[in-house]
Chain A
């Protein structure tokens, strides 16, 4: 493509000036951007008002796409069902034989599952939810992991409330707007969740890695007791999250902890529940949380500014 002729200013004073001032404005824009950036790094709360106003504006569109996301998943699964019907029949036939022998095993697992669930208190043991809503948008193009939910202060949501789905912890409310709120997802690198292993009380911190997995760091160093497949639940330390919300499952071990996969993938989550802030903050002895905070840098409740 040839360069447009009008960009050559030639001898025309007017054209020269307009070209010059164009560049000047461009450089000025970059400078303004740099100033804004420095301001926002110094004080992350500075532009949160504008942000929550903006998310209110895009909220209707987000709600629509939240519905479409769910519908489109269903459409795809229906189409897939038609296309794969024949091969699926063969597969099912093979699997049926296998399944019969697995059935006995499954019964044993079921009993164990019931026992574990009782241990975890997964099922409906939590407090009354503040609100049930959808995730309407997320910062999918940024390395930070924020999402927006369709409820805000109007619905009783306030900063710091845990957000979970029926599968597990999703994140916590970072900033409640009037009709929508920003949520810090657990996979963000600023999110630090105190967890423990579900079957015993091996305490650890789960920090986001920014790529959809969590870095689990054990509090007491020594021999790594974690194993692949261990389920981690919130320990309730620090008082931000209540005890026993499932968070992640251990995927691979590292030197001082593990890499874990989040149980509640936000992409597969239709509805999320906003829960009130746990009242255990006062009940947890200071000594239990204090040394941990010094050791791992950001405290769980001081972390996660936008």
Chain B
């Protein structure tokens, strides 16, 4: 059957979703990719003379863990933290350590508080981010630096405020992750 151009366009739009499955590469890879991009984005978006940027990599990592528990394995902190360490300027290994601990702590918290709403998650994330930023400062100070605690207060506040936005972004990526694009039985 030969279709008219408009009908063909419409039918192809419909057809794009029918008889297709999500790409396993996207479904598995997008969470990892988005966390890595978060790590890099935190360094290239602004050139700052003070620590003002929220740790976007960590926030994305946390958001994935909270929104889709179990999607990133517990050990995901090792490879993702390695990437973050390459860019963050922290002593190498600090993100690997802290992200791994964060995953375990979050898992324990989730077992304790199985029923929760976004406010609870935000509170948990706020507490964890605050701890993370302070721990990062402590590690940097142990290694070499001597930054006062007061210098990171704006960063902590920014991190807490930006977290819902990061969650929205992660939710959007989560939808994109499962868009059916691979054609079945061609």
Q: Give A contacts to B, CB under 8 Å.
A: 1-4, 6-7, 22-23, 25-30, 32-41, 44, 46-47, 50-51, 54-55, 58, 61-62, 65, 69, 135-148, 185, 187-190, 209-212, 262, 265-267, 269, 304-306
Contact = CB atoms under 8 A, between A and B. Distances in A.
A148 to B, nearest CB: 8
A141 B140 contact: no
Given A1-B117, A33-B93, 8 more contacts: A22-B75, A25-B75, A29-B78, A33-B77, A36-B85, A62-B44, A143-B141, A211-B50
A286 B144 CA distance: 26
The CB with the most chain B CB atoms within 10 A, among A1, A148, A306, is that of A1
A41 B78 CA distance: 18
A211 B47 contact: no
Given A33-B77, A58-B44, A141-B56, A210 B104 contact: no
A32 B48 CA distance: 31
Given A137-B47, A138-B46, A33 B94 contact: yes
Interface in B62-98: 69-70, 73-75, 77-78, 81, 83, 85-98
B178 to A, nearest CB: 16
B106 to A, nearest CB: 10
B75 A140 contact: no
Interface stretch (B13-21, B22-30, B150-158, B165-173): B150-158
Contact of B116 (A1, A265, A306): A1
A34 B43 contact: no
A37 B49 contact: no
Nearest to B51: A143
Sort A-B residue pairs by CB-CB distance and give the 7 closest, nearest first: A36-B93, A139-B89, A33-B97, A33-B96, A210-B147, A140-B53, A26-B74
B97 A34 contact: yes
20 contacts: A23-B74, A25-B75, A25-B78, A30-B96, A35-B93, A37-B91, A37-B92, A44-B91, A46-B92, A47-B92, A50-B86, A55-B86, A58-B87, A65-B45, A135-B47, A139-B88, A143-B140, A144-B140, A144-B145, A211-B50
Contacts of B110: 3
A55 B88 CA distance: 11
Interface residues of B, number: 68
The CB with the most chain A CB atoms within 10 A, among B44, B100, B143, B145, is that of B44
A40 B92 contact: yes
Nearest to A305: B144
A22 B73 contact: yes
Given A33-B100, A40-B91, A65-B45, A25 B74 contact: yes
A148 B103 CA distance: 30
B148 to A, nearest CB: 7
Contacts of A50: 86, 92
A28 B85 CA distance: 17
A35 B93 CA distance: 8
Interface in B28-49: 40, 42-49
Contacts of B117: 1
Contacts of A269: 47
A54 B49 CA distance: 22
Nearest to A182: B89
A141 B43 contact: yes
A144 B94 CA distance: 13
B50 A212 contact: yes
B117 to A, nearest CB: 8
Contact of A142 (B75, B90, B104, B115): B90
A47 B81 CA distance: 14
Given A37-B92, A40-B91, A54-B87, A141 B100 contact: no
A269 B48 CA distance: 10
A27 B104 contact: yes
A33 B78 contact: yes
Nearest to B110: A3
Contacts of B89: 139, 142, 144-146, 306
A141 B70 contact: no
Nearest to B91: A40
Contacts of A140: 42-43, 45-48, 51-53
A28 to B, nearest CB: 7
B142 interface: yes
Contacts of A305: 144
A140 B57 CA distance: 12
Given A140-B46, A211-B151, A29 B144 contact: no
Nearest to B37: A61
